[in-house]
Structure 1
């Protein structure tokens, strides 16, 4: 229960449903235990009046006695039926409150897990597999719901039923009660032992389930690569091996769960035998009546479900504890990137400055930026060029504060970026990533993601500026065309241009383009650059690329190499240096580079 204590806040928030559910449980049980009491009275009444009936067999009162006795039996029969109906009605109300409560808690817990995912930084997502994250919010939360709903319901019913029935049994005959309940200590030891096994196996099963989900998710996302390399059989074998391990563990747990059933049946059988044997002796000795014996047998049978449910509830609790432990471990992970206690907001004009910045990726140990210094005035257009792995994309991540540098400062309009609210910074910067991501939605909504309040006319204008409007109008339903998960129905160039339109519709003062034209042809690229040149006239723009845009009048071009600035200047100044930039430009001019931009 240590791990499950984290759920107490949800019980507190739903306390009235919980209290009502427990109240309905108690009332339902009270009505149900009236039935064996009335059966006892019927048996005792029969035993008492049978002798009188024999004495009246030779008199004229026999018919009247039989009629009166029949009315009494009818009264008891109707009363038993009525109590059964009332017990069933409150049982219905019990389920309506406790199961509904569990659904509310499930909803709140899923939202808490999802919100925590949103707060975590990029480093977390690079260190954890998508399938494992999905498993926590689906399978783990579902198992926890079984604890806050069915387990609580069955446990409370079991507890109330055992307490009330044992109390009534003791009132009748303490000695017979002792014999009847004597198998319970053995039952408790069995439950304790089996619970430990269930908990251990449940943890292993949840881990294996996360692994299966991760393998499936990776296979679905990388299906093109799998098919291209004819690795369908190998992928299926990998999934089958993981599924086999999960199946073996699940069967092992099912076998352990199955142990409860025969153990419970054995305990119930022993209790019934004890009741009949010892109770019969008590009847012979005159200590109890035949009605008391019948009452005891019914009580033992009523305890059958509580005894059986002990194992079921214990299994639910152990599985929920294993799942909640995984959720608790996740919720305890604190994001590295958070707002400072004295964080403030500022209207950014576009000034950017990096002062002696050094950054090493925590999950790989690779140093991407080394003693980096850069100053960009508001409204300037800067190109960042360099080989793969030179630190270009890392520069964009630092400006968006996806990471914090280990050394130095990132400044926006003279403000340390760590002293500004995250939402304030990211809300005033548009970023077009190298790895374009589109959602399974309409084209219009994907563009509108940059500004959810934008109308269709604004969406169309952004698409026109990104030189993708013509393509969109050629789709079957235009801007309302569903583009599929991750934009699988679009070409690489179309996805990049829709991503650019998403950034432009935001209309920020700072824009960062991270190699976002790699999938378009030279003619389309020329059109986009022409549109961007007019759009970016008064804005700060950082264009990260591995090739040269000679038609774009950059205020500054920096060439990066191994996380440092190797060359810096205007187009003409860099050509005069005869360095990497001049070499790249010459190669593009000669046509050796497929990405030539004239």
Structure 2
């Protein structure tokens, strides 16, 4: 139960509703206990009538009274049972909501390294399947646990008060049952953990298959994927069957032990009645009802044990992520306005997952409102600079300043609100094109959306669709071409109108003519904004105020297009090569 202590804060939050639920549960179960005693009294009345101790009219009146009491108690018990479910089960849904929000909020705080090390399917499984297992503990398990405790606390004393010797014999199987439950629950805990871990593996695999279905079809890998999924399904079935086999022992064992208790009631009770130790057959009937009333609670012990063990395993998996601290910590909680000046001082950065040093002792200054192009071969560290400016990572050594303030002393939300980023691989959501563009500014008008699309040179493409801006995109924007996705992403950034633009090779999928038009529009839109453009093309750098050339994480060259084009070096070689390619 150690891992499940994480839920105590939620139990405290909803303690009033839980207290009402516990009170209602106790009332419902106490009303249920009315029936056995009045069945005993009814049988006693019949015996007294047969022995001529009661007149027929008096016996009928008493029987009618007892029947009405039994029926009334049953109806009230049913009503309070309904209220019990409406309180405790509802609380479990509130806890489920809160726990999912807590996990999701924590996911958002964790750095990019976390997402590189953990797969999407596993993240999804922990926030869905694992949280659902925990909910069963916070709701049904809690409700039936209280129910079971209440019945045991009430029935056992009544049984000993009514017939001590008979009660002792009847309850003999219960300690045996407790030992069996303890032994089996330990096995359930281990196997539940294995099953939950495998579900994450299966979710991860299927999520990757669905995301990469176009590649699978292109390479005709359907038979191979089907075979692998089949193997995973068989493995999952085997693990689940191992757990199911253990669970399958519970109910037969319980029914056997309850059956033995019933035999004790009939044999020992009958013997005591014959010997005159019990004055009425009604006591035997009463005890049979008590034993059968205990059948469900005793049976529930196995189910409750299974639920608690599964919840413990699931909460442990959830806690593993909740205990991970984000690498990027917001130390400033007040808003910090950003103007756009960027300075790198001897910055070195190494990725923790690969141990690759992407930047080595980089220093440069970009003034507010300046447009700077960053060029270099693949792996030279261009995209890393943009990630560091948005503080998606913290530097390994050196310092980054925004407006002459160390970046760690800025409020992260203020910094990222001041940034409009267009990643190298454009990501669009499964929503309308309009909403994807408005992702940068939710309260934007339709006119602003259209204007941003025009500046990104994607308006004509959008109005060509049958539903125009209301066209709903497939997952990851699969409805659009690569160039169209990039331009919609650019429109999203333009609509946001931030202080700093970060364009990460976002024109790689468009032709040269469209690129020139977009760059011209970007120049106008970002006239007083700080703009960093990462590109492989010299054409993207010609109109920049300054060009930074990187090679293997080091700053190789910097200057204007004209300055660098007159010097022998990487930039001039790249310019000549691309110029000749365009002419040919």
Instruction: Report if aligned partners of 1:98, 1:149 keep a CA contact under 8 Å in 2.
Output: yes
Pair 1:267 & 2:240 matched: no
The corresponding residue for 1:520 is 510
Aligned partner of 2:549 among 559, 564, 576: 559
Question: 1:56-71, aligned counterparts within 5 Å?
Answer: 65-71=55-61
CA apart distance, 1:551: 7.6
Instruction: Report if aligned partners of 2:432, 2:470 keep a CA contact under 8 Å in 1.
Output: yes
The corresponding residue for 1:296 is 287
Q: Which moved more, 1:393-402 or 1:549-558?
A: 549-558
The corresponding residue for 2:23 is 23
- CA distance in structure 1 between the aligned counterparts of 2:334 and 2:76, rounded to whole angstroms: 62
- SS of match in other structure, 1:278: helix
Aligned partner of 2:466 among 476, 486, 509: 476
The corresponding residue for 2:307 is 316
Instruction: Report if aligned partners of 1:529, 1:552 keep a CA contact under 8 Å in 2.
Output: no
Q: Which moved more, 1:433-442 or 1:38-47?
A: 38-47
- SS of match in other structure, 1:137: helix
Aligned partner of 1:339 among 308, 312, 330: 330
- SS of match in other structure, 1:382: strand
Instruction: Report if aligned partners of 1:140, 1:206 keep a CA contact under 8 Å in 2.
Output: yes
The corresponding residue for 2:170 is 180
The corresponding residue for 1:584 is 574
- CA distance in structure 2 between the aligned counterparts of 1:516 and 1:73, rounded to whole angstroms: 87
- SS of match in other structure, 2:360: strand
Aligned partner of 1:211 among 182, 201, 205: 201
- SS of match in other structure, 1:52: coil
- CA distance in structure 1 between the aligned counterparts of 2:575 and 2:583, rounded to whole angstroms: 10
- CA distance in structure 2 between the aligned counterparts of 1:545 and 1:80, rounded to whole angstroms: 83
Question: 1:218-367, aligned counterparts within 5 Å?
Answer: 218-289=208-279, 290-340=281-331, 342=332, 344-367=334-357
Instruction: Report if aligned partners of 1:344, 1:419 keep a CA contact under 8 Å in 2.
Output: no
> How many pairs were matched up?
583
Pair 1:94 & 2:84 matched: yes
The corresponding residue for 1:61 is none
Instruction: Report if aligned partners of 2:422, 2:502 keep a CA contact under 8 Å in 1.
Output: yes
- CA distance in structure 1 between the aligned counterparts of 2:50 and 2:369, rounded to whole angstroms: 108
Instruction: Report if aligned partners of 2:45, 2:62 keep a CA contact under 8 Å in 1.
Output: no
The corresponding residue for 1:452 is 442
CA apart distance, 1:48: 2.6
CA apart distance, 1:505: 0.8
CA apart distance, 1:408: 0.4
CA apart distance, 1:348: 2.1
Q: TM-score scaled to structure 2, two decimals?
A: 0.98
CA apart distance, 1:71: 2.2
- CA distance in structure 2 between the aligned counterparts of 1:73 and 1:384, rounded to whole angstroms: 95
Pair 1:418 & 2:408 matched: yes
CA apart distance, 1:344: 4.9
Unmatched 5+ stretches in structure 2: none
- SS of match in other structure, 1:45: helix
CA apart distance, 1:185: 1.3
Q: TM-score scaled to structure 1, two decimals?
A: 0.95
- CA distance in structure 2 between the aligned counterparts of 1:358 and 1:481, rounded to whole angstroms: 44
Q: Which moved more, 1:381-390 or 1:75-84?
A: 75-84
Pair 1:407 & 2:397 matched: yes
- CA distance in structure 1 between the aligned counterparts of 2:89 and 2:528, rounded to whole angstroms: 59
- SS of match in other structure, 1:449: helix
- CA distance in structure 1 between the aligned counterparts of 2:336 and 2:43, rounded to whole angstroms: 86
- SS of match in other structure, 1:371: strand
Aligned partner of 2:114 among 103, 124, 132: 124
- CA distance in structure 2 between the aligned counterparts of 1:550 and 1:30, rounded to whole angstroms: 80
CA apart distance, 1:597: 9.9
The corresponding residue for 1:462 is 452
- CA distance in structure 1 between the aligned counterparts of 2:378 and 2:308, rounded to whole angstroms: 52
Instruction: Report if aligned partners of 1:526, 1:597 keep a CA contact under 8 Å in 2.
Output: no
Q: Which moved more, 1:279-288 or 1:103-112?
A: 279-288
What do residues 442-476 of structure 1 show as CA deviations (whole Å, max 9, x unaligned)? 11111111111111111111111111111111111
- CA distance in structure 1 between the aligned counterparts of 2:114 and 2:307, rounded to whole angstroms: 30
What do residues 160-207 of structure 1 show as CA deviations (whole Å, max 9, x unaligned)? 011100010011122221111011111111000110111101100011
CA apart distance, 1:288: 1.7
Instruction: Report if aligned partners of 1:28, 1:90 keep a CA contact under 8 Å in 2.
Output: yes
The corresponding residue for 1:492 is 482
- CA distance in structure 1 between the aligned counterparts of 2:335 and 2:79, rounded to whole angstroms: 58
Question: 1:498-509, aligned counterparts within 5 Å?
Answer: 498-509=488-499
- SS of match in other structure, 1:577: coil
The corresponding residue for 1:13 is 13
What do residues 452-504 of structure 1 show as CA deviations (whole Å, max 9, x unaligned)? 11111111111111111111111111111112211110011110001001111
In angstroms, what is the RMSD of aligned CA positions?
A: 1.5
Instruction: Report if aligned partners of 1:201, 1:249 keep a CA contact under 8 Å in 2.
Output: yes
- CA distance in structure 2 between the aligned counterparts of 1:174 and 1:327, rounded to whole angstroms: 48
The corresponding residue for 1:35 is 35
- SS of match in other structure, 2:51: helix
Pair 1:537 & 2:527 matched: yes
Instruction: Report if aligned partners of 1:183, 1:271 keep a CA contact under 8 Å in 2.
Output: yes
- SS of match in other structure, 1:549: helix
Shift in alpha-carbon separation, 1:345–1:80, aligned structure 2, 3 A = closer
